[in-house]
Structure 1
Amino acid sequence: MAWSWRYETADGTVLGGAELPEELFPSRGDAESWLGETWRRLRDAGAERVTLFDGDTATYTMSLNDEI
């Protein structure tokens, strides 16, 4: 399965747009490393939290309002 992030507001509204890339990753570790490098840019684009997906299954949700 491919791993991906979904970008959300604090209340869970799903966000999209050119500033919020739709990346796919071969592993959870790759997805988490990418987030560690890009979370500030995502937050600046309006994402307040993210949810990690393994295929269609949500694995966890995390706030971007605190430093990673």
Structure 2
Amino acid sequence: MSFTWQYENSAGETVGTSEEFDQRGEAESWIGTAFEDLLEDGVEQVRLLEDGTEVYGPMSLRPE
């Protein structure tokens, strides 16, 4: 079982994916520290995937 983040631009197009994480909590902690760098790279939203199946998303990286 592995978790990855799918990166999307403002149009909802996939523009990349994260490294793989063994645990969901690790993936969620990582996105909490990486979101500012992702925004600078043009990523607007993400989806969490477990073995390629969507767990949740899209989730905006912009503060509410």
| 1:10 shift after superposition | 2.4
In structure 2, the gaps of 5 or more residues are none
Q: Percent identity over the alignment?
A: 41
Cα RMSD (Å): 1.4
Hey, which bits of structure 1, 4+ residues long, moved more than 4 A? none
Tell me the secondary structure at the aligned position of residue 14 of structure 2: coil
1: distance between equivalents of 2:12 and 2:6?
Answer: 10
Corresponding residue of 1:2: 2
Structure (1 or 2) with the greater strand fraction: 2
Unaligned runs of 5+ in 1: none
Aligned length: 63
TM superposition score normalised by structure 2: 0.89
**Displacement of 1:22 after TM fit?**
3.0
Scaled by the length of structure 1, the TM-score of the pair is: 0.84
Say whether residues 1:42 and 2:59 are aligned partners: no
